[in-house]
Amino acid sequence: MKFRAEDIARYLGGEIEGDPLVEVTAVAKIEEGYPGALSFLANPAYEKYIYTTGSSVVLVNKSFAPAATVSAVLIRVDNAYEAFASLLTLYQNSLPVRKGISDRAFIEDSAVIGKDVYIGPFVYIGENVQIGDGCSVYSHVSVENGSIVGDGCTLYNGVKIYHDCVIGRDCIIHAGSVIGSDGFGFAPQSDNDYKKIPQIGNVILEERVEIGANTVIDRATMGSTVIKKGVKLDNLIQIAHNVEVGENSVMAAQTGVAGSTKIGPNCMFGGQVGITGHITVAAGTKAAAQTGISGPIKKEGSTLYGSPAFDFRDYQKSYIIFRKLPELKERIEKIEKLIKEGDKT
């Protein structure tokens, strides 16, 4: 990577303040900047670093008004965060792309492999599997019988895709994730034992889904567990059988969704959110970290906190009272004492 400030500004449609010929060869956080690095400033909390950063070029919003001298070349853009993400994508796309099939991979004769693929060592591709054009399948991946992987997908090391699952185009599945493992279905018996219920459905990931490392998405008991297009799941997430996650929804690490729950589009869940089974969560719902959603959310655009979850503003008001409970208890005890003493007189 080697770009001049003027090239970056031209690509982003930005405005340069400073030397347009300054070159950058790397990217760095603004607080860790060094000569030859490109950084960005989007969060006002980090403004103090722009006056001391060693980075040669910094992307800033057009509205940014420096309070002191800035030594770095500035490129003003409409949205510095989005512009920086765009540059990182450009950089990633410029890296060499692996191609070819390792002679240490095992591919069943009935599998169909697309053009321009990379299949690493110790990969297993099962019977009647379809791997689309331009896919990258890294070492120790297993794609079991009848599954379909669309064009342009990346399956990182150790991903396991069980039988008959469907992965849409341009999906990314990170290391150690499991797609299509059995849903947690067991019927209690009269002798207090549990009988396993066969899970005969599958998992469908639509296009542009990204799954973090060590995330598990269970196959449906019947039908499909469906992750709609554009969904982004963090590491260490559990999606149970027959769940549907609406398009462009995002979930942070350690979130868990119980069986048969339907989540609407454009939802956002913080870390360790828990969602009970067999409910519907309305479109645009936002849940702060560790929220417990134990019932249906019917109002679109709700913001939730707490367990059981309730409206975020109501939670903040309640929390103010909660913090004062020791003081309120002491006041009540004093009042009770005064009442008792009054009764004696």
203, 227 in Cβ contact below 8 A?
yes
Contact call for residues 277 and 235 (beta carbons, < 8 A): no
CA distance 308 to 295: 9
**Which residue matches tokens 């070159």?**
23
Beta strand segments in 70-119, E: 73-77, 100-101, 106-107, 112-113, 118-119
Burial of 324 (0-12, 13-18, 19+ CB in 10 A): exposed
The answer to whether 261 and 239 are in contact (CB under 8 A) is no
> Could you tell me if 56 and 39 are in contact, meaning their C-beta atoms sit under 8 angstroms apart?
no
Catalytic residues: 241
Q: For the chain, how big is the Rg over CA atoms in Å?
A: 27
Q: Would you tell me how many other CB atoms lie within 10 Å of the CB of residue 278?
A: 11
Please give the single-letter amino acid code of residue 215.
T
- Contact present, 225 and 219 (Cβ < 8 Å): yes
